[in-house]
Amino acid sequence: MRAEIRVTGIVQGVGFRPFVYRTAVRNQLRGYVRNLGDAGVDIVVEGTKDAISKFLSELRSKAPPQARIDTLKVRYRDVEQGIREFKILGSSDKVVVPGSVIPPDIAICENCMRELRDPKNRRFRYFFITCTDCGPRFTIINRLPYDRENTTMKDFLMCPECRREYEDPLDRRFHAQTVACPKCGPKVFLTDNEGNILDVEDPVSECGKLLEEGYIALVKGNGGFHIAASTLQSEPILKLRKLKSRRQKPFAVMARDVRAAKTFALIDRYEEELLTSPVRPIVLLKKREDYYLSEEISPGLHTIGVMLPYTGLHAMLFDKTCEPAFIMTSANRAGEPIVTRNEEAYKKFGSIADYFLIHDREIANRCDDSVVRMHSGSLRVLRRSRGYAPEPVKLKWKAKRNVLALGVDTNTNVCVLYQDKGFISQYVGDIEKVETAEFLEEAAKYLMKITNVEVEAVACDLHPTFNSARIAEKIAEELGAPLIKVQHHYAHIAGLAAEAGVRELIGICCDGFGYGLDGKAWGGEILYLNEDEITRLAHLQPQPMVGGDLAAKYPIRMVAGILRDTEDIYSWLKNRSTLLPHGEIELNLILKQLERGEFTETTSCGRILDAASALLDICHERTYEGEPAMKVEATAYGGRRVLKLKPQIEGHVLRTTELLEEVYVNLKNYSKRDLAFSVEEYIAEGVASLAVDLAKQHKVDYVGFSGGVAYNEHISEAIRKIVEKRGLKFVSHNSVPPGDGGVSFGQAVYAAEYGK
Ligand SMILES: [Zn+2]
Ligand SMILES: [Zn+2]
Ligand SMILES: [Zn+2]
């Protein structure tokens, strides 16, 4: 008998065809397997009924580790066509069903790592060692189907030995499109900052040595360039900070291995699993008490972002050094996307880096490293990019229509929602500059292309001047699809509900800033979501934001506004006026504006944490997104509750003035740590009890927590405990970022479910 099989999911670029081949041959079946242009796979087998059913069950149970089968449709025919053997056929461009996708990049596997270290292996110390189980995928693929000529490996002609492996069904590199060796594959070079190639035996380990000596190098990876430096010396880091005008923002590091990482960071079982997983993300880890790396890596924070080598090149960087870790941060200029082309790297970083470690393979898709952290054993994704993108987030139901969502203007990405899958693009960044705006549009179009989804609606933020909204408008027009504008926090909560598979919940959204339905700055919202609509039920007390965005940059402005009626606050403010760019003159102007009522108001939770940060003299200027609030969390770590004040709830408003007053009058009585801890407790208890009461009123079982503040472990855990203690179920994000990297997904869900 004959069976015609259609497989969708992640089945190209993960060794699926070789697996099908081996399984078919083992079961004495004849036929063929081939890749399709829609990222799916077509299989035909002929043989006995028993053999076919055994084959089908093995397809599911024994598939390669990186493969993901979504659907497997079989049509049986009684008549055989007399095929004599089983073959892997050339790919077809045929596009039949949307929804399959190419795999994300996969970190170097153990077998390749072993070969890299084996002097007898012909890929001994070859930086671009890969196999069917590992290597770049998303970053290397120009178009589908996944064949070598559709990748940036097309410029490298396989040598006879590589070709033999590629064609041998018993070889690990059977049909591995990235197969290469020192003879035929990409080559790596070490150059000075003008591009002159240095004559060294091993450019990679030589580069590591230079880093150890205190030089700064640009290192080309799979999805873009990293800036690399020593983690033991502060000088190169300070130089880097100065040249990149990046004063405080933490740098990620790449540790030699888990053992090395354990010498400076605390790592539990879950974190170790994440660090060594094929995704190999940056994991935010708590610094050890005897932390000995430079304090300049993540100043003022109790955490450090750590990843492990995920390519042969990374592993070799450590070969001739004693460094436990290197700084490895995306090479991008402020507000611009990560650099991917060699010429661009020299042009933009020639004045910053001393050396360049480059290779001659082009990067098809740029992709920054992903960032994650654990909250008591539960995963929070801060940035969903390399290793995840473009793998979809699965929903428990099918969306009512296919949507493309363009996200927001900070920390953004795009999302294509198709049935029960949310395809989230790689990290795009902040859409201020032309380069990033172009990247956003490119990423959107590429995602539509590789998923083959026919988009029926385009979604974007409600903000009237967002660049992302402008791009959404343009694409909607090109597609002839309706444009749906989605309120920022509605998107956060719609995304949370869809991710959790919940149709009704009370959602707490504690965030930085989002344009509200009333045109005001929202950011501390309690929303009610059901199958028909989302409504705003409660929020934080509106507080003055004198000078608009300036109040987010200089949180003293928030303190001045919140405590404007507090006795003798003036002397506190005056003592700190030098922390404002224009000193006392500026302070007096702020006070005058307050008196005259010349300000907008915000319900943002982030701004309250900012104000606390200034009031506790933790951070007086925001030099990167979320800085004051993150430093409050770092300061509060290990603290205890000292303030007696219970959450002040007035109707549907959680008051915050009393909280800041309480902190102010207790400044001399308690440590910063305990006061910061108490602020977080107040907020958590306040929003949680409001939400629980509303849930009981509306007879809802679930309370969820989303928004940028949901990264805060203490606040997040405190809310969870209160919700669970009062007999309700707590839901949080596990695969979609709670912050603005999750908004595109939420917009898409909202537009599909509630959009008109
Ligand atoms: Zn491998
Ligand atoms: Zn070769
Ligand atoms: Zn947000």
Residue 162 Cα to ligand 1 middle (Å): 14
pLDDT of residue 432: 86
Residue where a domain terminates, one of 88, 117, 137: 88
Residue 207 Cα to ligand 3 middle (Å): 40
Please identify which residue in the block is written with the tokens 């089908």: 56
Residue 618 Cα to ligand 1 middle (Å): 46
The verdict on 700 and 553 lying in the same domain is yes
The verdict on 558 and 683 lying in the same domain is yes
pLDDT of residue 96: 76
Dist. CA 395–CA 399, nearest whole Å: 8
Residue 512 Cα to ligand 3 middle (Å): 6
Asked, for residue 110, whether it belongs to a domain, the answer is: no
pLDDT of residue 756: 78
Can you list the pairs that 20-24 forms with residues at least 24 positions away whose Cβ atoms lie under 8 Å? 20/59, 21/86, 21/88, 21/169, 21/174, 22/169, 23/55, 23/58, 23/59, 23/62, 24/55, 24/86
If the chain, 756 residues long, is cut into consecutive pieces of 10 residues, what is the mean pLDDT of each piece?
94 92 95 92 95 96 92 92 90 82 94 98 98 95 90 97 93 94 98 97 97 98 97 96 91 98 97 97 98 97 98 97 97 92 97 97 97 94 96 94 97 96 96 92 94 95 96 97 98 98 98 95 98 98 96 98 94 96 97 96 98 98 96 98 97 97 98 98 98 98 98 97 98 96 98 92
Residue 491 near residue 743, CB atoms below 8 Å: yes
Domain at 700, CATH number? 3.30.420.40
Beta partners for 44? 4, 32
Contacts for 183 with CB less than 8 Å, ≥ 6 apart: 159, 161, 162
Domain at 272, CATH number? 3.90.870.40
Helix (H) or strand (E) holding 559, with range, is helix 556-562
- Nearest ligand to the C-alpha atom of residue 111: 1
The verdict on 555 and 699 lying in the same domain is yes
Residue 720 Cα to ligand 2 middle (Å): 54
Count helices and strands in the chain by DSSP H and E runs: 23, 31
Asked, for residue 135, whether it belongs to a domain, the answer is: no
The verdict on 323 and 398 lying in the same domain is no
The DSSP call for residue 139 is T
Asked, for residue 120, whether it belongs to a domain, the answer is: no
The DSSP call for residue 103 is P
Residue where a domain terminates, one of 88, 107, 138: 88
- Nearest ligand to the C-alpha atom of residue 181: 2
Residues in the chain: 756
Asked, for residue 683, whether it belongs to a domain, the answer is: yes
Q: How many domains does the chain have?
A: 4
pLDDT of residue 100: 83
Which tokens in the block code for residue 529?
A: 């979501």
Asked, for residue 506, whether it belongs to a domain, the answer is: no
Query: Packing angle between helix 713-725 and helix 627-636, nearest 10 degrees?
Result: 70
Dist. CA 402–CA 421, nearest whole Å: 10
Residue 450 near residue 39, CB atoms below 8 Å: yes
Domain at 13, CATH number? 3.30.70.100
- Nearest ligand to the C-alpha atom of residue 495: 3
Domain of residue 306, residue span:
188-359
The verdict on 712 and 566 lying in the same domain is yes
Dist. CA 31–CA 46, nearest whole Å: 6
How many CA within 13 A on the CB side of residue 200?
19
Dist. CA 165–CA 289, nearest whole Å: 50
How many CA within 13 A on the CB side of residue 647?
20
Asked, for residue 493, whether it belongs to a domain, the answer is: no
The verdict on 659 and 624 lying in the same domain is yes
Which tokens in the block code for residue 226?
A: 């990293």
Mark out the alpha helices in 62-189 (DSSP H runs): 110-116, 160-167
Residue 116 Cα to ligand 1 middle (Å): 10
pLDDT of residue 715: 98
Dist. CA 614–CA 559, nearest whole Å: 7
Dist. CA 465–CA 746, nearest whole Å: 20
The verdict on 712 and 616 lying in the same domain is yes
pLDDT of residue 251: 97
What is the three-state SS of 357-398?
Answer: EEECCCCCCCCCCCEEEEECCEEEEEECCCCCCCCCEECCCC
Beta partners for 650? 653
Residue 410 Cα to ligand 3 middle (Å): 9
The verdict on 350 and 264 lying in the same domain is yes
pLDDT of residue 587: 97
The verdict on 352 and 480 lying in the same domain is no
- Nearest ligand to the C-alpha atom of residue 132: 1
Helix (H) or strand (E) holding 67, with range, is none
DSSP state string for 287-350: EPTT--S-TTSSTT-SEEEEE---SHHHHHHTTT---SEEEEEE---TTSPPP-SHHHHHHHHT
- Nearest ligand to the C-alpha atom of residue 106: 1
pTM value > 0.85: yes
Residues with CB under 5 A from ligand 2 (ion): 159, 162, 181, 183-184
Dist. CA 447–CA 452, nearest whole Å: 8
Residue 627 near residue 662, CB atoms below 8 Å: no
Contacts for 303 with CB less than 8 Å, ≥ 6 apart: 250, 284, 285, 286, 287, 373, 634
Which tokens in the block code for residue 218?
A: 């640009």
The verdict on 583 and 440 lying in the same domain is no
Residue 521 Cα to ligand 3 middle (Å): 11
pLDDT of residue 90: 87
The verdict on 319 and 416 lying in the same domain is no
Domain at 389, CATH number? 3.30.420.360
The verdict on 452 and 330 lying in the same domain is no
